[in-house]
Amino acid sequence: MNKKFTRAFLPPEKAFALNAGRLRIFLLMAVLQLLITAVYAQSTIKVTGTVTDSKGEPLPGVSIKVKGTPAGTSTNANGKYTITVPDAKSVLTFTYVGFVTKEESVGSRTVINIKLSENVSDLDEVVVTGYGSAVRKRDLTGAIASVSSKDIQERQPVTLYDALQGQVAGALVMNDNGDPTGEGTIQIRGASTINASGTGPLYVIDGVISDDANFVNPADIESFEVLKDASSAAIYGARGANGVIIITTKRGQEGKPSITVQYTHTLGELAHKLPAVTAADLRYYRAHRDNKTTGAVADSVNHYMNQDNDFQDEMLRTAHKQVASLTLRGGQKGLTYYSGVNYTDDRSIVINSWAKMLQTKLNVDYQASPKLKISNNLAFAYQSGNDIPVGTSVNVLFDRNPWTSLYNPDGSMSSYVESKRNPVAYALYEIHKRNYLTAQYNIQLNYKIYKDLQFTTLFNAKARNNQYTNFSPKWLTSKGEGNASGTNELSKDFNWEYQAFFNYNKTLAGSHNITGMLGFSADRRRYDDFYFAMSQYLNETIYTSNAAGLLDLAKTTTFATANSDASLFGRLGYNYKGRYLVEGTYRRDGSSRFGSNNKYGNFFSGSAAWRFSDETFMKWSKSFLEDGKLRYSVGQTGNDAINDYGSVSLINFGDEFYNLVSMGALSTTMGNTNIKWESTTQQNLGLDLSLFKGKVSVSVDAYKKVTSNLLYDKKLPAETGFVSTFINLGTITNKGLEIAIGGTPVSKKDFQWSTNVNASFQQGKITKLADNSSFLSGDKWLIQEGGNIGDMYMFKNLGVYQYDVSNAYDEHWNLLTPVGVSSDGKAAEGYLLNGQPYTGVVQQMKDGSSGRVLTGGNTIWQDTDHNGVIDNNDKAILGNGVPKYYFGFVNNFRYKQFSLNVIFNGSLGYQVYNKVANGQNRNSSTYSPPTPDAIYNSWQKQGDIAKYPYFPNKDTYGDMRYGINSLYLEDGDFIRLSSAKLTYTLDNKIAKRFKAKSANVYVFGQNLATWTNYSWFDPEFSSKGLNIGEDSGKYPKRREIGLGVQLIF
């Protein structure tokens, strides 16, 4: 009003004077502004540069601040930055997670390149704990182990199992890395179930739940978080009983595009070649077995029957594996992207065994507004390959007579000879082709309601289509007179998942931090399978069903199954100055697999931590103790790993026929409406120490894990009309201790050595069974109250009777030693007991099956029940297939532009049952040769001191006990140099010749050396369920050496 009044009522000349005064003031202010700007422009300095690590690799996302001011920026994807500082006295602070913070005075410089060194202390690293939550490692209350992209990059992993083996205490990784399509198993803190399914951990990939992570390329992974205790895993409820592995893939960075190209070529050889029977060995064996003067074949001039083959040389070759990858990373403000493509061509050591895989990953993040962020993740994987059936190829290497030729006189490959397959022919001409296609897409929205509260929702869809084509040509059948046969199987697997959750994070008065999370999820999975069995092919180069003359309706089937889950979950945490920390979680899961009375399960957890190093009474330790924390947690997780319709009885169609008409029939699995959730309660006590300014870190965890209401597929009496039903069987208890020690013993300008060692000690016991009843799983694994998981129940082999009169026992069935034995071994002058003369009653042992008295050359078995008869009551627990201890030992060395990574791992305190050797030495076939050890250490005549029985007897006297003979129970302990990689980073001037910002070349090796007493190919292989530790014939492991190059543009 005042302004309007002045303008309206002042005389014109006064109004003009007023406006002229205002114009002069405005002009004066403009001149002053120009002068100030000119002075400031002369004093400010524009600084640019590049931030790299100790190897010269650019570091994206490094925070750069002008000390004492709010001004700052960050490096782009190429590690470059630009910042304006007030004057030459300014100081720049460079901060990056995992690296030592560095300050640099500007002075007169306009280009400042910085090299950051790795931080020996990792307490400030951020650990993902699930559902959008993350905390600093120093503030963890649960047992969580992390593996970073740097740890992965230091070795040369092809699979998830390669990347994790030896890295995490409490994670037992059994790697099937000889087989190009092989995978492996990961078991976290021992077995939490006795089901063959549901024993592996749950995978969470970029927030999405998955049963496996085989389609993920390790090079695309930013970090692993392994959630080991229940307080950490309970937020995943029914699926977290076996531990949780959270995988976070790489994201984009603001800045110019950064392109990384990498190529490796690997050569592989058989890691452990086995002694093979020669033609001379076989002639010696047959001559003694058949009581002949010679064991030669009848036609001594027949070239076809007078070879001397080591079929390992014919069957196995030098493997070639090529891996090429390309990644693209970059973005601009508000929009970032990461894309990776990886191609693997693996032609393994067994002829015609190969796999090709294409893996792609695309992550795009869009900051639509200051509050809304949209993330898209797309993954695609395609794999094709030819599996080699171990039973008809690799195992037959030792089953076929070495003097038989692999080729016919006309040069074509032979088939059956002396009833034995041609292993090379089977490998070359049998088709076992596999095609796997996986596609996954998820979209995630994050909305910041206000600074302390964020809402996240995501939807994920994953589809998997697999095809299995098997074909065996006619001429591979016995005498080539059979029919060509084959199968074609198609499977389709689709699942979706929806999540929505809130995350709250509030700090009060600078000391009290409160965090909370509340969410909901739902998912559904459907699986369809189509199986066709065919024979009498019209054309043996076409493997589809329309080329077959006969479709086997009895074997041709279709199958479908589905399940759904819905969950509510929440987490609440409190942190006071980082000194006292508590957290609790709750989850309620519903599963369609259970009946209406037990459809829902509730899972709770709580954890607390005390940072005692921050207490005033610990000031005396500051000179060596940087950080010290005690942790305790207790919680529940679950397992629903039964058939999708295990609670109901089903009717199957197409399995039964009447007058060639398909019928419906009741399923052989009886439904159990009372089946309950399997529940695991775990307690964990942990200690974390950071010593000597972070140069040494120590983490110790002791745990007790009790799984109750075990889910088990129990066999039923035939009288019921059913084969099995799912029941809640009992309780198992796992106890263990985990120790992880890391440190940097040496950290100099040009040389650094960092090391990490982890060791795990575990024991699993069966503490309760339904009706207190025990049973056998398979033919040797005893499940009983008080027993250990993996106990092997079998006959104890004590050797071979030297003479007929060696079968002599006292009245308590203690074995006697004969003296003064006659030349025919049938009489003795006397006996000794424990070295002293024995004059009492002499008794003889009998075989319980045949009733025969055992004689010279028969196996001496332990008579456990001391009744003079060897039968099933004499079996005892003689071994265990679960390692009691396992460890990993990782070392990283850096000298100037060289770096070396070396990893050892091992498993100790367990046994392996060598069923392959046992089968070879059964003497059940006229033509199969035994092992070389058995040929020259078997009993032949009275007085022989032997390891193996008299083979012409075969199993007449119960000498073999196939599958349950302790002679073939071997020490499975091993220590392995599993990985080594030597890298040289080229000078930047050389890299620029290739138009690259940086370049390195490296040589690496896998499975380089193994120290073990196990006699067969390798003691490390995957097992599932209760039948642990039996080597029935596995794909041989290979020793690999490779070269690689990496260029960053």
pLDDT at residue number 2: 41
Q: Which of 227-231, 832-836, 945-949 has the lowest mean pLDDT?
A: 227-231
For the residues 931-957, what does the mean pLDDT come to?
93
User: What single-letter DSSP state applies at residue 1040?
Assistant: E
pLDDT tier for residue 304 given thresholds of 50, 70 and 90: low
Cα–Cα dist 254/828, whole Å: 92
Nearest to 729 by CA among 676, 787, 670, 650: 676
pLDDT at residue number 977: 96
The pLDDT of residue 4 is above 50: no
pLDDT at residue number 17: 46
Which residue has tokens 């109750």?
A: 708
For the residues 390-399, what does the mean pLDDT come to?
77
pLDDT tier for residue 543 given thresholds of 50, 70 and 90: confident
Proportion of the chain in helix, strand, coil states, percent, rounded to 5: 15, 50, 35
pLDDT at residue number 427: 87
The pLDDT of residue 5 is above 80: no
Angle at 206 between CA 200 and CA 207, to 5 degrees: 75
User: What single-letter DSSP state applies at residue 844?
Assistant: -
Environment class of residue 237 by beta-carbon count within 10 Å: exposed (0-12), middle (13-18) or buried (19+)?
buried
- Specify whether the CB–CB gap between 531 and 487 falls below 8 A: yes
- Specify whether the CB–CB gap between 958 and 850 falls below 8 A: yes
The predicted-structure confidence for 662-691, as pLDDT tens digits, reads as follows 777 888 888 888 888 888 899 999 999 999
Q: Which of 15-19, 224-228, 578-582, 971-975 has the lowest mean pLDDT?
A: 15-19
Cα–Cα dist 856/848, whole Å: 17
Q: Where are the domains of the chain?
A: 2-38, 45-115, 258-431, 797-880, 881-921+960-1049
pLDDT at residue number 33: 46
Cα–Cα dist 738/229, whole Å: 12
pLDDT at residue number 24: 57
The predicted-structure confidence for 320-361, as pLDDT tens digits, reads as follows 999 999 999 999 888 999 999 999 999 999 999 999 999 999
For the residues 906-930, what does the mean pLDDT come to?
90
Structure tokens at 901: 């990574």
Q: Which of 33-37, 441-445, 931-935 has the lowest mean pLDDT?
A: 33-37
Q: Which of 16-25, 78-87, 445-454 has the lowest mean pLDDT?
A: 16-25
pLDDT at residue number 305: 65
The predicted-structure confidence for 763-789, as pLDDT tens digits, reads as follows 989 998 887 888 888 899 999 999 998
- Specify whether the CB–CB gap between 688 and 699 falls below 8 A: yes
Which residue has tokens 């075990």?
A: 710
- Specify whether the CB–CB gap between 981 and 154 falls below 8 A: yes
Nearest to 157 by CA among 139, 175, 142, 137: 175
The predicted-structure confidence for 244-281, as pLDDT tens digits, reads as follows 898 999 999 888 899 999 999 999 999 999 999 998 88
> 289 versus 909: which is more confidently predicted?
909
Cα–Cα dist 674/1019, whole Å: 41
For the residues 397-406, what does the mean pLDDT come to?
84
pLDDT at residue number 10: 42
Cα–Cα dist 193/708, whole Å: 9
- Specify whether the CB–CB gap between 601 and 565 falls below 8 A: no
DSSP characters for 323-373? Answer: EEEEEEEEEETTEEEEEEEEEEEEE-SBTT-EEEEEEEEEEEEEE-SSSEE
Amino acid at 765: K
The predicted-structure confidence for 544-560, as pLDDT tens digits, reads as follows 878 888 888 888 888 89
- Specify whether the CB–CB gap between 680 and 634 falls below 8 A: no
For the residues 1012-1025, what does the mean pLDDT come to?
90
Cα–Cα dist 39/626, whole Å: 47
pLDDT tier for residue 121 given thresholds of 50, 70 and 90: low
Q: Which of 321-325, 393-397, 1037-1041 has the lowest mean pLDDT?
A: 393-397
In this structure, is the dihedral angle defined by the CA atoms of residues 414, 420, 425 and 430, taken in order, positive or negative?
Answer: positive
For the residues 654-664, what does the mean pLDDT come to?
70
Cα–Cα dist 477/724, whole Å: 35
Instruction: Write a three-state SS string for 144-189.
Output: EEEEEHHHHHHCCCCCHHHHHCCCCCCEEEEECCCCCCCCEEEEEC
Nearest to 1029 by CA among 796, 785, 778: 778
DSSP characters for 222-272? Answer: EEEEEE-SHHHHGGGGGG-TT-EEEEEE----SEEEEEEEEEEEEEEEESS
pLDDT at residue number 668: 82
pLDDT at residue number 547: 83
pLDDT at residue number 612: 93
- Half-sphere exposure of 499 toward its Cβ, with a 13 Å CA cutoff? 27
Largest distance between two CA atoms of the chain: 152
For the residues 995-1010, what does the mean pLDDT come to?
92
Residues in contact with 336: Cβ distance below 8 Å, sequence separation at least 6, in sequence order: 251, 252, 253, 254, 330, 364, 365
Q: Rounded to the nearest 10 degrees, what angle do helices 12-43 and 2-9 cross at?
A: 130
Structure tokens at 320: 């070639």
778: left (phi over 0), alpha (psi -120 to 50) or beta: left
> 67 versus 525: which is more confidently predicted?
525
Say what percent of the chain tops pLDDT 90: 49
The predicted-structure confidence for 472-513, as pLDDT tens digits, reads as follows 888 888 777 788 899 999 999 999 999 999 999 999 988 999
Cα–Cα dist 1013/906, whole Å: 13
Pick the CATH number of 45-115 from 3.40.50.720, 2.40.110.10, 2.60.40.1120, 2.170.120.40: 2.60.40.1120
Instruction: Order the strands of the 817-821 sheet from edge to edge.
Output: 817-821, 828-833, 836-838
* pLDDT, averaged across the chain: 87
Instruction: Write a three-state SS string for 924-969.
Output: CCCCCCCCHHHHHCECCCCCCCCCECCHHHCCCCCCCCCCCEHHHE
The pLDDT of residue 316 is above 70: yes
DSSP characters for 568-594? Answer: EEEEEEEEETTTEEEEEEEEEEEETTS
- Specify whether the CB–CB gap between 312 and 276 falls below 8 A: yes
pLDDT at residue number 824: 94
For the residues 872-885, what does the mean pLDDT come to?
95
pLDDT at residue number 302: 65
The pLDDT of residue 383 is above 50: yes
pLDDT tier for residue 297 given thresholds of 50, 70 and 90: low
Q: Please, which residues bridge with residue 1045 across strands?
A: 263, 1001
Q: Please, which residues bridge with residue 908 across strands?
A: 885
Structure tokens at 493: 């697997």
User: What single-letter DSSP state applies at residue 281?
Assistant: H
The pLDDT of residue 22 is above 50: yes
pLDDT at residue number 163: 87
The pLDDT of residue 585 is above 60: yes
Which residue has tokens 């070795």?
A: 155
- Strand 678-691 and strand 669-670: the pairing is unpaired
